[in-house]
Every structure is written in C-alpha cells, then in structure tokens.
Homo-oligomer: A and B are copies of this chain.
C-alpha cells in the first residue's frame, strides 16, 4: 500500500474512533507509520486531510449503495454498519465538530448528502416509475439517517427495522 492510501485509511480510522478534534497529529503520524514531514507533504493540513478522508469514504460508501431497490438499499446499509462500525455518520459528525465553519469540510459533507439523496431519488423512481415521489423519497431518507444513528445504540439491526418500515411505505405508495 502506498504512502497516501496508508495515510488516508489510518486517518479515517482515527477520526472515526476518536473524533477529528481529539486526534492529534502525533497520533496520526504514529498510526500511519510515517513522519510528520511526509504527512504534511501529502495532506497539506489537518483540515485538508479530513476532506480527503471524507472524499475517499464517500466513494467507498456510494459504491456499496449501488443497488436498484429500496429493499436492497437497507440490506446494503446493514452490511455497511456491520463492516464499518456504528459510530454514527462521519460526515455529519465532521460537520458538527467543526461547527459548520471550515467551508471546505462543510462543502464536502453537504455535497455528499445531496449526492446520496439524488441517488435515493433514482432508486425510488426505478421502483415506482416516473413521476414525482418527493414525499416518499424524503421519508425513506429519514429512515436511512435513522438506521445509521439508531444503530449506535440499537445495533446494525436498526437497518432491518428501517427496511421493514420502508417496505410498508412502498406498498402504501403503490396502492
């Protein structure tokens, strides 16, 4: 594994487990197994490192969500929760930790959420056919965020609850 990806995966793990602000650069260099000089050459700054971590995570997450039905989406969410942990949404946590200041970070986070919502809209449209499904998409988005965050204390089966609820909503929408 090359230096850059070693850095990104170590940083993602540290930020996710201990939080962005609480993770010092010394612990980052130790976890990544490199000198601070090398780290700064690759990342530029701590804030830029976070944006790169989030960009890589978004790519991996969205790849896992390449599904064609709402039901499969929540199965994918449960898999993600089991494999990537249940510490809440790293994007929203990053936004909250920086207080919404730090425009680079806020930009990455909000862009990711917008992209996911667009993806969700496509999935819903694929199931229900063309037409406006704004309200239903919004409800499933709420179920998605709920699965991610309830999983922190209820476990990955929160995604199964969301999946069952979404099935009811879809059946209702088709009727």
Contact of A142 with B152 at beta-carbon distance under 8 Å, contacts A21-B22, A92-B88, A96-B87 already known: no
A102-115 CB contact bits vs B (8 Å, 1 = yes)?
00000000100110
Band of interface residues on A: 35 or more
The answer to whether A143 and B143 touch across the interface, beta carbons within 8 angstroms, is: yes
A13-34 contact mask (Cβ, 8 Å, vs B): 1 or 0:
0000111011000000000000
A122 to chain B, nearest CB (A): 18
Is there a chain B Cβ closer than 8 Å to A57's Cβ? Answer: no
The 8 A CB mask of A133-145 against B (1 = contact, 0 = none) is 0010011011111
Known contacts A143-B143, A146-B146, A165-B142; is-contact A152 B95 (Cβ 8 Å): yes
Assembled-state Cα–Cα distance A142/B100 (Å): 25
Which among B21, B87, B142 is the interface contact of A150 at CB below 8 angstroms? B142
Q: Please give the count of copies of this chain that the complex contains.
A: 2
Q: List 22 A-B contacts (CB under 8 A).
A: A18-B99, A19-B99, A21-B21, A21-B97, A22-B98, A93-B96, A97-B97, A135-B161, A138-B150, A139-B162, A139-B164, A141-B146, A141-B150, A141-B158, A142-B146, A142-B158, A142-B162, A143-B146, A145-B149, A146-B149, A165-B165, A168-B168
Beyond A93-B93, A139-B162, A142-B158, 8 additional pairs, beta carbon < 8 A: A19-B21, A93-B96, A93-B97, A97-B97, A135-B164, A138-B154, A141-B154, A168-B172
